[in-house]
């Protein structure tokens, strides 16, 4: 079953949002154009409580994008974003959500961040996505969304490690740090993860 997983196409990651991904809004029409070419379409949402541990505002004296150590791991401190129930956590208004069979929310535990669609950053808690996909008989997974170098990347790596045949749709994704993402793309290619553009899926 050919499956599309759309990562975090939410208002707070758009150019006018609290944690903007450059040109993040440009991927919306591309994602809309390819959805009908898949048997199954799924999406994720960052869905944080307002007291989430990854927010710089919840650490006295700390600034946005400062890196600290939490639970033995490095943690980037982010601007408040995608707080559950807020407009910033909603999908972009032009994103076609009619084909979404399920939405998986992540980052709901205030004590740990969760970039991947599959696990929190400590791999302590599963979102249930792997089981859902395997019950559906999914073997081939195409991923796109925001941000390419963070939540999309970690989702792809986890999906690959869970045994799925993974393809990254590059032009339907945007990175927060393009230079850093070039290194991550090389890593993906080395692992055997395919990289395509949306026009090849039409």
Q: What are the catalytic residues?
A: 8, 106, 151
Contact 106, 85 (CB under 8 A): no
Q: Which of 29, 31, 15 is nearest to 152 (CA)?
A: 31
What does the alpha-carbon distance between residue 51 and residue 98 come to, in Å, rounded to a whole number?
A: 31
Give the β-pairing of 2-7 and 165-174.
Answer: unpaired
Contact 106, 45 (CB under 8 A): yes
Helix locations, the chain, DSSP H? 28-34, 129-136, 153-161, 178-191
Residue entry with tokens 């993860």: 193
């Amino acid at each position: 079953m050919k499956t599309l997983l759309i990562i975090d196409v939410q208002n707070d990651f758009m150019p006018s949002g609290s944690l903007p991904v450059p040109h993040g809004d440009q991927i919306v029409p591309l994602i809309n154009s390819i959805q009908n070419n898949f048997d199954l379409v799924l999406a994720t949402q960052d869905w944080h409580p307002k007291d989430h541990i990854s927010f710089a505002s919840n650490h006295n004296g700390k600034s946005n994008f400062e890196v600290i150590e939490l639970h033995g791991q490095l943690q980037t401190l982010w601007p408040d974003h995608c707080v559950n129930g807020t407009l910033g956590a909603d999908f972009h208004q032009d994103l076609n959500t009619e084909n979404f069979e399920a939405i998986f929310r992540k980052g709901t535990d205030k004590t740990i961040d969760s970039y991947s669609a599959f696990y929190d950053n400590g791999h302590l808690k599963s979102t249930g996505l792997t089981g859902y996909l395997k019950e559906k008989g999914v073997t081939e997974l195409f991923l796109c969304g925001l941000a390419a170098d963070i939540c999309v990347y970690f989702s792809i790596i986890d999906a690959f490690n869970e045994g799925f045949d993974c393809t990254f749709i590059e032009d339907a994704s945007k990175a927060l740090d393009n230079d850093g993402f070039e290194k991550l793309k090389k890593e993906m290619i080395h692992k055997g993860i395919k990289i395509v553009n949306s026009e090849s899926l039409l």
